Structure 1
Amino acid sequence: MSSFQQARIDLGAQLRQLRENAHLSGKDLAERLGWQPSKVSRIENARQTATEDDVVVWAQAVRVGPETVDGLIAQAAGLLERQDSWRQRHKSGLAALQEDIRDLESRTKLFRVFEPGVVIGLLQTAEYARHIFSKVRRLYETTDDIDAAIRVRMQRQEILYDPSRRFRFIMPEAVLRYRLAPPDVMRGQLDRLLAVTTLPNVEFGILPFEAPLPAALVNGFWIYNDSMVGVATRTKDLVLRDPDDVAFYAHAFEEFCEVAAHSDAARAVIVRVLDDYARQSPG
């Protein structure tokens, strides 16, 4: 067991003990917090990482002292800052990871996302996601919960229709052509992207092959509000909160935006790729 998972187990057990000391059931606590009861269960059983906000409201609901609250915050902050092995994290299951991401997204109003190798998760179709999760499961030897992971990923996408949130997405044209799924699945995925470009709170950009790039397309990154950046590598999931780091990635994102195709120009790239898939299809 990784140190990350053990720390998550320890925090979950402590939170459960505090709930039980307050003579609250999981359902009672969820009602007080306005959560789904399943979230309480996932945190207590170390299937979801409790955030600093989570432990603060939990502590308030069970009426513990400020010293206990400070200790819980420190534990939650330590989990979020940890640069833990993706192989170890994936052992807790694909669905659990999706729940962690969904919880973070629920606290975000402005998303800036650059993804150089795969269609951005919030924009994936269920069929495309299935092929991606299958590859992830093979690579990291995860538990076999692909159907559950897809359900959570699709639930995550409901946030796109919240007009109080703003989304800015950038992907290179190559992502539209990578054969991470069969051609019929790719065509369905491209149709989905065409639909997303019409949402009023979504800014969708594509880096065409002919675009003069300001930098090499290395790692993808997600900027959450102006406070945190998530950078995924093959072996580490980096969480960056230093203002200089956030500013660096925000600047990199704007440079990509300047050379990306947007609106009708982005849709023209998608349609061009769709036409290429159609010519490659049998019959």
Structure 2
Amino acid sequence: MTSFQQARIDLGSQLRQLREAAHLSGKDLAERLRWQASKVSRLENARQTATEDDVVVWAQAVRAAPDTTDDLIRQAISLLERHDDWKQRHRSGLAAIQEDIRDLEARTKLFRVFEPGIVVGLLQTSEYARYIFQKVKRLYSAPDQIDAAVRVRMQRQEILYDRGRTFRFVVPESALRTRLTPVDVMRGQLDRLLAVSTLPNVEFGVIPYDNELPSAPINGFWIYNEAMIGVATLTKDLVLRDPDDIAFYVRAFDDFCEVADFGHEGRAHIIRILHDYGKQSSH
């Protein structure tokens, strides 16, 4: 067991003890917090990482002492700032990671995402996602929770239809041509992108091959509101909160937007790539 997993177990145990000391069932607490009852169970049993917001409202609901609340906040922040080894982290399960991401997304109003080599998780079809999780499972020896992980990823996508949120996605053309699945699954995925790109709160930009890039697309990154950057490498899941880091990635995202095609022009690239996949499948 990694130190990250142990720290998450310890925090979950403390949260459970506070709830029980307040004579509240998991259902009672969930109702007070307007959460799904399953979230209380996931946090207590270390199947999801508690955030700073989670522990603050939890502590308020159980009337925890100020010193206790401060300690819980410190633990939650420490967990979120950990640059933990992905192979170790995946031992907690693919579905648990998806739950962590969904909880973060629920607190985000403005999403800005650049992905150089894969279709963004929020936009994946279930078939595409299944192939991705199969590759992740093999690479990181993760537990076989593919069905559950796909289900949570599909549930995450409900947030796209919340008109109170704004989504800006940018990908190089190469990301849509990278064969991570069979051709028929890629075609279904591109059809999905065509549909989602017409949502009024979604902007989907494609950087065509012919356009010069402003910088090397080394890693994908997610900008959550103006507060946090998520950067995924093969072995580290980086969480950046420093204002200088945030400003840097916002500027990098804007640079990629400058050379991307959005709206009808962006969809024209998708249609062209879809046509090319059609020719491959006919052969």
Aligned partner of residue 256 in structure 2, secondary structure = helix
Aligned to 1:229: 229
Cα distance in structure 2, aligned partners of 1:282 and 1:276: 10
Matched, 1:243 2:247: no
The residue number in structure 2 matching 1:254 is 254
Spell out the pairing of 1:159-174 with structure 2 (5 A cutoff): 159-174=159-174
Question: Aligned letter for 2:78?
Answer: G
Deviation at 1:45, TM superposition (A): 0.4
Query: 5+ unaligned residues in a row in structure 1: which ranges?
Result: none
Q: Which residue of 2 aligns with 1:20?
A: 20
Aligned residue number for residue 197 of structure 2: 197
- Residue 266 (1) aligns with residue 266 (2): yes
Q: Which runs of 4+ in 1 moved over 4 A?
A: none
1:113 maps to: 113
2:185 is matched with 185
TM-score, normalised to structure 1's length? Answer: 0.99
Aligned to 2:206: 206
Q: Give the distance between the partners of 2:189 and 2:14, measured in 1 at CA.
A: 43
Partner SS for 2:238: strand
1:124 counterpart residue number:
124
In 1, distance between residues paired with 2:133 and 2:211? 30
In 2, the alpha carbon distance for the partners of 1:280 and 1:74 equals 54
Cα deviation digits, residues 98-141 of structure 1 (max 9, x gap): 00000000000000000011100000000000000000000000
SS in 2 for 1:143: coil
Q: Matches of residues 45-64 of structure 1 in structure 2 within 5 Å?
A: 45-64=45-64
CA–CA distance in structure 1, aligned partners of residues 39 and 162 of structure 2: 21
Q: How far apart are the structure 2 equivalents of 1:227 and 1:98?
A: 20
Alpha-carbon offset, residue 24 of structure 1: 0.7
After superposition, give the CA deviation of every residue in 1:189-210 in whole Å (9 maximum; x if it has no partner): 0000000110000111011101
1:3 positional shift: 0.6
Q: Mapping of 1:63-78 within 5 angstroms? A: 63-78=63-78
Encode CA deviations 1:155-188: one digit per residue, 9 max, x unaligned.
Answer: 0000000000000000111111111000000000
Describe the superposition over 1:46-79 as per-residue Cα deviations: whole angstroms up to 9, x where unpaired: 0000000000000001011111110000000000
* Number of equivalent positions: 283
Residue identity over aligned pairs, in percent, reads 74
Q: Please name the residue that 2:158 is paired with.
A: 158
Question: Following the alignment from structure 1 to structure 2, what is the Cα–Cα distance between the partners of residues 261 and 250?
Answer: 18
Structure 2 equivalent of residue 216 of structure 1: 216
Per mean C-alpha deviation after superposition, the further-off stretch among 60-69 and 251-260 is 60-69
Say which SS state the counterpart of residue 226 (structure 2) adopts.
coil
Name the counterpart of 2:87.
Answer: 87
Letter of the 2:33 counterpart:
L
Deviation per CA, 1:184-237: give whole Å up to 9, x if none: 000000000000110000111011101110001100000000000000000000
Compute the displacement of 1:282 (Å): 2.9
SS at match of 2:282: coil
SS at match of 2:92: coil
Residue of structure 2 equivalent to 1:276: 276
SS of match in other structure, 1:239: strand
